[in-house]
Chain A
Amino acid sequence: METVKMKSGEFLVKDIDAKEIFIPEEFNEEQRMIAQTCRDFMDAEVFPNLDKIDKGDRELMKGILHKAAELGMLGIAVPEEYNGFGQDFVTQMLVAETTGAGYSFSVAYMCHCGIGTMPILYYGNNEQRLRYVSRLATGELIGSYCLTEPGAGSDANSGKTNARLSEDGKHYILNGQKMWITNGGFADTQVVFAKIDNDRILSAFIVESNWPGVVIGPDEHKMGIKGSSTTQIYYNDVKVPVENMLGARGEGFRIALSILHMGRMKLGANVIGAAKQTITDAVRYANERKQFGVLISTFGAIKHKLAQMVIKAYAQESAIYRVSKDVDNLINQYKSEGCDHGRAGIDGISHYAVEDAILKVWGSEMLDFVVDEGVQIHGGMGYSAEMNIDRGYRDSRINRIFEGTNEINRLLVVESATKRAMKGEYDLFGPAKELYENLDNITDGQVAGESYFDQKKRYMKNFKKAIMIMIHATMEKLGKKYMAEQEVVNNLANMIMELYMVESMALRIEKLESINGTRDVYRDMLNVFTYDTAYLIRKNARDAIYSITEGKEADALIKAIKNLTHVEGVNTMAARRRIADRLIEDNEYKF
């Protein structure tokens, strides 16, 4: 069993050897075959039906989910004893990535396999798992998840849906209203959150859609993911058998938050599939469209866009599989300590709270960038609803909203990282204080003759120091209420996110070179991305510094940050052109 290499948030203070991380080039034969099955399925059942799916045909979507079930695609994360295939987290993420290219289908599929099924697997007792998970894994049942209410969005625990025990003690009587329920129109089961009597904290229940008193609303008209059924659901004196309470009374809020951690991770993988698909669509169009007598893919402005799209997708991919392996290692550790399979799974995922928030925010913004530039490359045709790029553009937008808005998640990046340090999980504040007290001595640490990757490692160390200094300065200046100054917290979150992305890319490329030898185009990507990241870290630090202090103190901080974000100049034009040229030659995303 591989040991846990890095705890959540520890990357802020600890360096890791490239050979210790997992990279997507290391997928085994079986994992590649599973991904191919997902791709073949999408080619056969999803892509030919995109227009029909987007017309909101509930039966069609349900039928496609059933076809996915025939291939076993609904049971990938479910253990074999519940009719599934018990695949590890890395494989689950690979499947999430591959199916992420499926527009509305991707949402319906991920809802079913993730938030529709996994809460019962993770928190259900054996009877509940046998009764529901076994049938969800085979597609006999389709699942959904009912948390949001008209007055309870990001503040999930403020929901009004109520459950009270019946006089005979056999049922909870459920009343209330839920909204934005994915798969609501055709799901057979619902994981519903409600407060029992006057409880402060939510409890969770498994509800069957055909029970008396469950009323499903019509599908919402949405900006995108139009083929995904999204409804309101009303509960009017619904009798829920007491044995259908999920977990313990009052455990619902914890369940809801844990499941959000899983959802964020999987969203982080989903967006990679969508981004790769969009990049392929964009480069193919650029390789066909002529203006001024030449293909538009020969223009520098288009190459710039294509290269940026590739770099960002590649960074997200590097980060997602790095953390996925960390999750698997932790799950295996919990299991070896005797933890129940379900709890080991969700505790392993939830532990990486810093990373899942990063991957959700950065990934959803990466995809929004990619689809936006995708539309731009398509020019006027990009604005036509006849092109897939239009669908991709509209469908992308929700990713910044669901699974916790990006605003909430930016706060969570910082809150989770600092809380873990406060708990003593890693020493952030000690080195941060030391750096802060010696700002005048901080240099960029450059040494003569350092190797390519030694230079990159030095940059990463410097970025970490910059972040530690800024965390210390923020807490020093704002005191215990530092989380209330959200703009500054956003600056810190942005710095942390950029670090995780660029470090993941650097580690991946270093490991890749140790296997395949030097590949210049990957170094081009890393050079450009490091150069851009240094600027972004510096910009966010400056914004934060001038928000919390001024005068000589600000000057000293600015000078230290300048040194710590100093990187060698890069001919980004030439590097981006080389990256784009490779994409243009391949005519599809093949990095």
Chain B
Amino acid sequence: MKILVCISNVPDTTTKVKFTDNNTKFDSTGVQWVINPWDELALTRALELKDNPASGVKGVTVAHVGPATSEPTIRKALAIGADDAIRVNFEPTEAYQVAAQLAEVIKNEPFDIILCGIESSDYNGSTVGSMLAEFLNAPSVSAVSGLNVENGEATITRDIDGGKETVSVPKPFVAIVQKGIAKEPRIAAMRGIMQARTKQIKVVEPVSVSPLTELIEFEPPKPRAKCIFVDAENPKQLIELLQNEAKVI
């Protein structure tokens, strides 16, 4: 049984987000790129399953849609323990394109279980997993917080309002995973880092997919308004501020 983990290359979560070109382009200067945290959890779970012989999982592949500059992030996934990787040489502008490219990869090289993070920490699209399942005409299960595979059969736990539900699903399927799916993300060990040198990153050329949406502009959050302290002895000032500055009375 083979698992495919779809990974996004996102700015480190502590990045101060800035835009250029009239707020139409993300400013990537000095940004450190990492595996999307939810995808990293998915990868961790896939590796945990592979470590358990009873699961029947024999291989874990990661797939990414992006340019060559994202290879350090893919290499990190290999260092953590993925067996090999596929990179679609394409710079997507939105989730539909990502899902369409990944679907082509999977049509050419089938996998039993496809894992996607519930969202990416950059654009928060939360749509690749379900679109991918639709392209593949495969079942998808969202908000997955538990995944077990025994003797080739998958059992999935989902978080629902006020509790959990457990479902079984035939393969191949897409599981859209969230927190709880795995323990802490794995740290790349020295052996893994050195083995990653020789693991294959297969680069495939993209198919032609037009975007369905077009970005108009980004709008950074407005800076927090200044907090003015008014002395309790001075209600006049408060009234003046409410009238003339806040203009609410």
A interface residue numbers (CB < 8 A to B): 29-30, 32-34, 36-37, 40-41, 44, 70-73, 75-76, 85, 585-588, 590
Contact = CB atoms under 8 A, between A and B. Distances in A.
Interface in B189-204: 189-191, 193-194, 196-197
A33 B79 contact: yes
A585 B189 CA distance: 33
B184 interface: yes
Nearest to A41: B187
A37 B16 contact: no
A33 B184 contact: no
The interface residues of chain B, by DSSP majority, are classed as: helix
Interface in B222-236: none
10 contacts: A30-B193, A33-B79, A33-B188, A36-B76, A36-B188, A44-B187, A72-B189, A85-B190, A85-B194, A587-B16
B190 A75 contact: yes
Given A44-B184, A586-B16, A34 B190 contact: yes
Contacts of B187: 37, 40-41, 44, 71
A75 B75 CA distance: 21
Given A71-B187, A590-B30, A37 B72 contact: no
A175 B187 CA distance: 44
B187 to A, nearest CB: 4
A308 to B, nearest CB: 23
Residue among A33, A586, A590 with most chain B CB within 10 A:
A33
A34 B76 CA distance: 10
A278 B198 CA distance: 38
Interface in B90-144: none
B188 A37 contact: yes
A36 B75 CA distance: 13
A33 B16 contact: no
Contacts of B194: 30, 85
A33 B30 contact: no
Contacts of A70: 189
Given A30-B197, A44-B184, A590-B30, A76 B190 contact: yes
Q: In this complex, which of B76, B184, B187 has the most chain A Cβ atoms within 10 angstroms of its Cβ? A: B187
Interface in B1-60: 14, 16, 30
A76 B191 CA distance: 10
Contacts of B79: 33
Contacts of A71: 187-190
Contacts of A72: 189-191
Nearest to A84: B190
Nearest to A72: B190
Contacts of A33: 72, 75-76, 79, 188, 193, 196
A37 B189 contact: yes
Contacts of B76: 33, 36
Nearest to B76: A33
Nearest to B185: A40
Contacts of A34: 190, 193
A70 B190 CA distance: 9
A33 B75 CA distance: 9
A295 to B, nearest CB: 12
Nearest to B191: A72
Nearest to A43: B187
A291 to B, nearest CB: 14
Nearest to B188: A37
A78 B145 CA distance: 41
A29 B190 contact: no
Contacts of A37: 187-190, 193
Contacts of B193: 30, 33-34, 37
Contacts of B16: 585-587
A585 B16 CA distance: 9
A29 B196 CA distance: 11
Nearest to B34: A36
Contacts of A75: 190
Nearest to A73: B190
Contacts of A586: 16
B13 to A, nearest CB: 13
Interface in B139-182: none
A73 B193 CA distance: 12
Contact of B72 (A29, A85, A590): A29
A368 B22 CA distance: 45
Nearest to A28: B72
Given A33-B188, A71-B190, 19 more contacts: A29-B71, A29-B72, A33-B196, A37-B187, A37-B189, A37-B190, A40-B188, A41-B187, A44-B187, A70-B189, A71-B187, A71-B188, A73-B190, A75-B190, A76-B190, A85-B194, A585-B16, A588-B14, A590-B30
A29 B188 contact: no
Nearest to A95: B190
A76 B14 CA distance: 29
Nearest to B197: A30
B190 to A, nearest CB: 3
Nearest to A34: B193
Contacts of A588: 14
A70 B188 CA distance: 11
Interface string B59-86: 0000000000001100110010000000
